[in-house]
Amino acid sequence: MGTTARIALRINPNVDADTHRYITTGLNENKFGIYEEDIEGILERLPELSNIELIGIHFHIGSQVESLEPFERLCNKANDLNDYIEEKGFKLTVINVGGGFGINYENPNDKAIPDFEKFFALFEANIELKSHQNLHFELGRSIVGQSGSLITKVLYTKEGRTRNFAIVDAGMTELIRPALYQATHNIDVLTSEGQPRVYDVVGPICESSDTFRKEIELPEVQRGDILAIRSCGAYGEVMKSQYNLRPNIASVFSDDLT
């Protein structure tokens, strides 16, 4: 069509994000990105591709990264690659360091907003931008993660041999993160203030991995009680499925925080 696509190279920087292996994306063993040893060959080919204009480099080392060290290692790698590609005669205007900054799943009320000040200070101190360059971030989870809850009803309670189960009407079809990544979401009981009891909170789907939390202390619950599974704003509804012919659930949006 005679147009030019402006592109960034997604580079796999081989930086360990120190997070769950299923949400680690920037190691050589991961499927994502262009490996460092392939960059040279790509740069050699780019001038032949008249409909492609290289404007940036892009990295994303993983999700739910809870310490800042991996980002420091990423900055060092990005600086080296930035210099290397610019020395080859390309003008990079965008350095995109992806997302990954973790949120606090244990304490979503008191720690609703991650420490962005520290995060951005780390980049300020470590990334070496040239005067024509902008730094881009993709902080999806960090911004929206705490803004959604999955509201679910207790269908049954069951006294198992070694555990008490609270079986709820939501399942891995509505929030797959615990089953997929062993993610731990906090749970609030909205309708009971009973004596504390330890539960496994599980969905109704015929999979043992259909479990939201193991051994969580909650006020005693009964059939009909309503629970809020917290921190579902990221990778909750967007990863829903109709597995086991489960219907889609409704979403309610509100600015009312009460």
Closest CA to 100 of 131, 58, 152, 147: 58
Contact region for ligand PLP (CB under 6 A) — 39-47, 97-105, 111-119, 219-227?
A: 97-105
How far is the C-alpha of 129 from the C-alpha of 36, rounded, in Å? 20
- Nearest to residue 213, comparing CAs of 135, 105, 136? 105
Long-range Cβ pairs for the range 243-250 (8 Å, 24+): 243/172, 243/173, 243/205, 244/173, 244/205, 244/206, 246/171, 246/173, 246/174, 246/205, 249/170, 249/174
Among 56, 98, 114, 236, binds ligand PLP (CB under 6 A): 98
Report how far residue 79's alpha carbon sits from residue 82's, in angstroms, rounded to the nearest whole number: 5
Query: For ligand PLP, which residue of 8, 39, 129, 139 counts as binding (CB under 6 A)?
Result: 139
**Does 26 contact ligand PLP by CB under 6 A?**
no
Which DSSP state fits 225? -
Per CB under 6 A, 140 contacts ligand PLP: yes
Nearest distance in Å: CB 100, ligand PLP = 4
Of residues 225-254, which lie at the interface with ligand PLP (CB under 6 A)? 234
- Least separation in angstroms between residue 166's CB and ligand PLP is 28
177 binds ligand PLP (CB under 6 A): no
Instruction: Tell me the window of 94-102, 118-126, 152-160, 177-185 that interacts with ligand PLP (CB under 6 A).
Output: 94-102
**Which residues contribute to the site for ligand PLP (CB under 6 A)?**
60, 63, 98-100, 138-142, 234
